[in-house]
Structure 1
């Protein structure tokens, strides 16, 4: 006859938590503020004096788009949004490091500052701290939570 096997019930792991909850809410807020700040700054600079420092102003506009996408991804949540936000945060960090180094090595290329100039010194270094913090949060959110 057949054998009956008894197994211990297992508690299924809960899927990753909502990206916009807890500390994620602060990230959403900070990215939202930086979206508005970078976009406002770049729009005003491009309208008033684009010829003075076009590279700096375009880089600030790019930063605003990156910040907006990350904000949207954090609010949207879910595995696909988390992965997209993680890639964007890595690109953001690379941008901050490249632009920050570039502004130190060749300051004449930047007659005016960008959001990422000097590693975000004009913004209390938040532009370099924010993507690192966000990537840590996103990686934590990807891990199943034990119930």
Structure 2
């Protein structure tokens, strides 16, 4: 009984395993918070743009809405425990990275297609390039916190 209490107090399961979700601890909490801020801001921006000026730049505004959805999924999946949520996190962050790179490149090489900026336009220039840096940091964090990472290191 005492052994079980000691491991539980240390944040580990009964068998001395790692915590159920080590992704939302330490720097992971900051990462989740930044994703949450982007989820809220991108959702608000996309909602406003679609409701008030959709006809001006439908592609840009739909991409903003898609980016918002990706940020919401990334935020939720990073905060949840389990291997399924880990896989969802990896997929969401990879989609974000591809989106930033593709939309960023298209907005540089075909600016006519993007008369209004999206979150990912010009690689996130309007957001201090955080949309470009965030998925890279997210993938590094996920790699370090992948299921079985501590077992492989031992």
TM class by shorter chain equals 0.7 to 0.9
Q: Which has the higher contact order (CA 8 A, sep 6+)?
A: 1
RMSD: 1.9
The answer for the alignment partner of 2:139 in structure 1 is 135
Q: TM-score, normalised by structure 2?
A: 0.83
Contact 1:16/1:141 (CA < 8 Å) preserved in 2?
Answer: no
**CA pair 95-136 structure 1, distance change in 2 beyond 3 A:** same
- 5+ unaligned residues in a row in structure 1: which ranges? 1-10
User: Which protein has the bigger helix share?
Assistant: 2
| Count of aligned residue pairs for this structure pair | 137
Larger radius of gyration: 1
**Structure 2 regions of 5+ residues with no counterpart?**
1-14
**Residues 31 and 70 in structure 1, CA contact (< 8 A), matched pair in contact too:** yes
Shift of 1:77: 2.1
How far apart are 1:80 and its partner, in Å? 1.3
2:145 counterpart SS class: helix
| TM-score, normalization by structure 1 | 0.87
Structure 1 stretches of at least 4 aligned residues deviating more than 6 Å after TM superposition = none
